Chain A
Amino acid sequence: MAKTYDCLFKLLLIGDSGVGKTSILFRFSEDAFNISFISTIGIDFKIRTIDLDGKKVKLQIWDTAGQERFRTITTAYYRGSMGIMLVYDVTNEKSFENIKNWIRNIEENASADVEKMILGNKCDLDAKRQVSKERGEQLAVEYQIKFVETSAKDSLNVEYAFYTLARDIKAKMEKKQEASNPPGGRSGAHQLKANEQQRKPTSWLSRCSVL
């Protein structure tokens, strides 16, 4: 099978039941919204390939069941994730409070350097809002995680969120590559700078994936 992408990132959506994980994913992968979604049982994933600074990055995004009880099963899929979207519902205080638990869950089950982002979903439902944007921002600062309010229904910030997370992962990989290929090392090794990487075919992308 011909490889149709340069790089594959595995991402994961987690958060309480009903916060809109599947809707966010559906918006991003199909650019659609369906009011009558069904709850996710077990696990599923969707694929979308995006263009990031001239490279085709295939995002494999895993969607999990939110209920606490299924965590022993869903955490099995944390491993190998490079980026995690923590989703809460701005109309549901509890789902916001639980973000801390989800972060703890990540710390226990995902690799330590996984990129994270907090999404406050359903921001179109302003009348029902229970969590202000400021509180979301504050939490994000506390954990030093990027934050954005989204609406899967109105297609607000969903694209932005996934692109941002993907970019952060890419940047982290480049940095790591830089560290493992210090200047003056093996011949042929380049020290890469962010603005150089498009000109360097032997950049981090060569490590990125097989297929």
Chain B
Amino acid sequence: MSSSSVEEIPEMCKDLFTQDGVLLKMSNGRPNNDPNAVGMLCLVENPNGTKSIEWRPNDLITIDSDTQDQEWAVVNTIGRRQRTLSGNMTSDYASARARIIRIPLEELKFFRSSRDNIQIQFSSKQGVWQHTFHCQHGNAEAFIANLRNHVITAKTRRNRNTYMVVETNAEAQVLNKSFAELDIFSENTTDVVWNLVSNFTERPYATTMEAFSKLTDIVYYGNEVTHERRHREQPTPEDISDLTNALDENRIETRKSDEYEVVTIESILPPRPHIHRNSPLSTEKWDGLRDSEGRITEVDGVKQLIFRGGIAHTIRGVVWKYLLDYYPWNITYSGIKNLTKKKTQEYYSMKLQWRSMTAGQESRFSEYRDRKSLVEKDVNRTDRTHPFFAGDNNHNLVVLQDILMTYVMYNFDLGYVQGMSDILAPLLMLLVNEVDTFWCFVGFMEKISTNFDMDQAGMKQQLVNLQQLLTFTCPELAKHLDSKDSGNMYFCFRWLLVWFKREFSYPDIMRLWEVLWTGLPCRNFHLLICVAILDDQKDLLISKDYGFTEILKHVNELSMCLDIDRILSTAEGIYHQTISAPHLSDNIRLILGIPTVSRPDGEYPEPEQNTEAQNGTQTDGNVKSDEADLEEVMYQIGLDMNF
């Protein structure tokens, strides 16, 4: 890299963890209404190795992509912080920079999250919460969990969600602690470590093995029970889980030597079951599932059938109305009539709101004008090669436009965002009726509204979750992507934004969507669809050593070349592999909406019972009820940190 200006960089802080969509709260505790107070909460590592919590307002945020190929070595890349000194810095930028909030970890004394996971607070002295942040996505636990990898904490007695910082700079001390506290060596810890290091030079292999085997024993069998459990023949799944979690490695190999037994543990998943897809939900079956007045009582059963095989095209239009929450499942035939009447009136009154706008009004209503212009532009370029939308003066385009404009009036704050016309087009093609299509579209948007956030925090969160799922299920690919600066998964952006609409033909996307709308078998199954596609491409991406640009190109070019049935069964297979993996981490559980592990612990008996959590994997996207579990996990992570 030939960059003459790089020397101006005053400091290069490394972002260790970032969380988007975090509002800075005013001291009175109410969320700040200033949109500039939306930003990103980060954990950063300073050049001197210390760490800080940092909140940056959104207008300051640039995305670190580090996308440089070697090919672009001649380019002068610019450091994120370098611009703060550059001559052409804008005043906005400077003022935004001034609004950064930094809390050095050394000064951090307490932190806590609210029970609903919306609020995070930090304090550097007892009794005062100096900094309060509001997580728009209710994912405060994610930040707290990450923060706790960097500091050693103790729970306070009074509040289970409040943590007291015992020691900062956890990593530096964890190793020391783990050796010292475990008391695996009879000598003084420091000496042992020193001897270990000096022995490396003399007999590196043996020294390494000796040290690791001792560590392995401890992690396997725990400190207190080392002797009684040492003779167990097989480690239990929990042991493997502990080991893999504790060492945070994908692969641990201990090779045979004269003295030590062979232990080869790869955190590989159980074998992938082959999942057969079933035939679609048929008209007969559907009719048979309705009672005499038309109600569907076996909702879970219907969803299972749809998840397994999709819906026959003949009844697709009807069933979609239920899946997209236009019709409640228990609605009767007469109820449908009333609902349709009511919803039709509602639709046309909203439509009238914009249809009756005069040219003069419009000229003084720039926000409306902007939305309208965006809609017009996109309608004219939505699936125009499909016969349904092809040709000049196509009436279906007018309907498409009318629905989108009415949606703008329905949800003016969200307005129109690119991608919505893609989402709407298949709905209109299937349902044809303008009113039905509108309300089904509303239901679909409800499911994916975070995709269209102003700050794109919802999208970024999904990309992060996808990366974590991939790391768990397909570590070698995750590693490859990471090594090619593609770990941010931005190349999957299009897949996620419009739920694969651009990747499949109309019949296939209809099948995929109806399966995903069931919410089965777990939350975020669409991310496992991404994983399934990538898993299929894994060998090629790795063997051809595709770099940043090739990965993007390859993924973009998969469009219309994907086999929907194969992907659906692969994704479900990966789901089963994942949930039955002995080392399934709570992070992955959270993403998939699976109840997290709560281990009995004598020291902290938990009165909260969790009947729902014990009922298996039926989660239907709701983990709120598992709050107690979540807390337990957070607590457990803390214990693990302390060994």
Could you tell me which A residues sit within 8 Å of B by CB distance?
8, 10, 17-18, 36-39, 41-45, 60, 65-67, 69-70, 72-73, 75-77, 79-82, 92, 94, 104, 107-113, 173, 180, 207-211
Q: How far is the CA of A17 from the CA of B375 in the complex (A)?
A: 11
Contact of B556 among A44, A67, A94 (CB under 8 A): A44
What chain A residues lie within 8 Å of B493 (beta carbons)?
Answer: 41-43, 73
Closest 6 A/B residue pairs (Cβ): A36-B384, A76-B63, A18-B377, A76-B65, A42-B493, A42-B494
Contact of A70 among B72, B373, B418, B502 (CB under 8 A): B418
**Cβ-defined contact, A112 with B78, below 8 A:** yes
Q: How far is the CA of A108 from the CA of B502 in the complex (A)?
A: 31
Q: How far is the CA of A70 from the CA of B490 in the complex (A)?
A: 12
> Which residue of chain B is the closest to A65 with respect to CB atoms?
B418
Q: How distant is B96 from chain A, measured CB to nearest CB, in Å?
A: 10
17 A-B contact pairs sorted by A residue (CB < 8 Å) = A38-B383, A39-B381, A41-B494, A42-B493, A42-B494, A66-B418, A69-B452, A69-B454, A70-B418, A72-B61, A79-B65, A80-B72, A81-B75, A104-B90, A112-B78, A210-B70, A211-B70
Additional pairs, 10, CB under 8 Å, beyond known A10-B72, A39-B418, A67-B374: A39-B378, A42-B493, A44-B552, A45-B552, A67-B417, A80-B68, A80-B77, A108-B83, A209-B71, A209-B74
**Cβ-defined contact, B93 with A69, below 8 A:** no
**Cβ-defined contact, A79 with B454, below 8 A:** no
What chain A residues lie within 8 Å of B2 (beta carbons)?
Answer: 180, 207
Contact of B90 among A18, A94, A107, A112 (CB under 8 A): A107
**Cβ-defined contact, B63 with A82, below 8 A:** no
Q: How far is the CA of A82 from the CA of B381 in the complex (A)?
A: 30
**Cβ-defined contact, A17 with B374, below 8 A:** yes
Residue B176 interfacial (CB < 8 Å): no
**Cβ-defined contact, A73 with B459, below 8 A:** yes
Contact of B418 among A67, A94, A107, A108 (CB under 8 A): A67
Q: How far is the CA of A38 from the CA of B501 in the complex (A)?
A: 12
> Which residue of chain B is the closest to A7 with respect to CB atoms?
B74
Interchain pairs with CB closer than 8 A, number: 136
Q: How distant is B187 from chain A, measured CB to nearest CB, in Å?
A: 51
**Cβ-defined contact, B67 with A41, below 8 A:** no
What chain B residues lie within 8 Å of A94 (beta carbons)?
Answer: 370, 373
- Which residue among A18, A42, A75 has the maximum number of chain B CB atoms within 10 Å of its CB? A42
Q: How far is the CA of A111 from the CA of B4 in the complex (A)?
A: 12
Q: Dominant SS at the B interface?
A: loop
B322-343: CB near A (< 8 Å → 1, else 0) gives 0000000000000000000000
- Which residue among B86, B418, B491, B552 has the maximum number of chain A CB atoms within 10 Å of its CB? B418
**Cβ-defined contact, B83 with A79, below 8 A:** no
> Which residue of chain B is the closest to A109 with respect to CB atoms?
B62
Residue B5 interfacial (CB < 8 Å): yes
Contact of B5 among A44, A77, A112 (CB under 8 A): A112
**Cβ-defined contact, B74 with A111, below 8 A:** no
Q: How far is the CA of A130 from the CA of B109 in the complex (A)?
A: 60
What chain B residues lie within 8 Å of A209 (beta carbons)?
Answer: 71-74
**Cβ-defined contact, B381 with A73, below 8 A:** no
Known: A41-B497, A42-B493, A108-B62. A69 touches B74 (CB 8 A): no
Residue B64 interfacial (CB < 8 Å): yes
Q: How far is the CA of A66 from the CA of B417 in the complex (A)?
A: 11
**Cβ-defined contact, A72 with B381, below 8 A:** no
Residue B27 interfacial (CB < 8 Å): no
Known: A43-B490, A72-B455, A209-B72. A107 touches B78 (CB 8 A): no
Q: How distant is B257 from chain A, measured CB to nearest CB, in Å?
A: 43
Q: How far is the CA of A157 from the CA of B98 in the complex (A)?
A: 44
Q: How far is the CA of A65 from the CA of B452 in the complex (A)?
A: 14
Q: How far is the CA of A104 from the CA of B62 in the complex (A)?
A: 13
**Cβ-defined contact, B377 with A17, below 8 A:** yes
What chain B residues lie within 8 Å of A70 (beta carbons)?
Answer: 418, 456
**Cβ-defined contact, B498 with A41, below 8 A:** yes
What chain B residues lie within 8 Å of A210 (beta carbons)?
Answer: 70-71, 73
Residue B382 interfacial (CB < 8 Å): yes
What chain A residues lie within 8 Å of B377 (beta carbons)?
Answer: 17-18, 39
What chain A residues lie within 8 Å of B76 (beta carbons)?
Answer: 111-113
**Cβ-defined contact, B417 with A82, below 8 A:** no
- Which residue among B70, B72, B456 has the maximum number of chain A CB atoms within 10 Å of its CB? B72
What chain A residues lie within 8 Å of B74 (beta carbons)?
Answer: 173, 207-209
**Cβ-defined contact, B75 with A111, below 8 A:** yes
Residue B549 interfacial (CB < 8 Å): yes
What chain A residues lie within 8 Å of B66 (beta carbons)?
Answer: 79
Contact of A111 among B65, B71, B77, B419 (CB under 8 A): B77
What chain A residues lie within 8 Å of B383 (beta carbons)?
Answer: 38
Known: A41-B497, A67-B417. A112 touches B86 (CB 8 A): yes
Residue B587 interfacial (CB < 8 Å): no
> Which residue of chain A is the closest to B380 with respect to CB atoms?
A36
Residue B385 interfacial (CB < 8 Å): yes
Contact of A73 among B63, B370, B549 (CB under 8 A): B63
> Which residue of chain A is the closest to B59 with respect to CB atoms?
A108
What chain B residues lie within 8 Å of A39 (beta carbons)?
Answer: 377-378, 381-382, 418, 421
**Cβ-defined contact, B78 with A79, below 8 A:** yes
**Cβ-defined contact, B64 with A108, below 8 A:** no
> Which residue of chain B is the closest to A40 with respect to CB atoms?
B418
Residue B553 interfacial (CB < 8 Å): yes
B496-526: CB near A (< 8 Å → 1, else 0) gives 0110001000000000000000000000000
> Which residue of chain B is the closest to A110 with respect to CB atoms?
B78
> Which residue of chain B is the closest to A207 with respect to CB atoms?
B74
Q: How distant is A35 from chain B, measured CB to nearest CB, in Å?
A: 8
Q: How far is the CA of A77 from the CA of B63 in the complex (A)?
A: 9
Residue B304 interfacial (CB < 8 Å): no
Q: How far is the CA of A172 from the CA of B233 in the complex (A)?
A: 69
B444-464: CB near A (< 8 Å → 1, else 0) gives 000000001111100110000
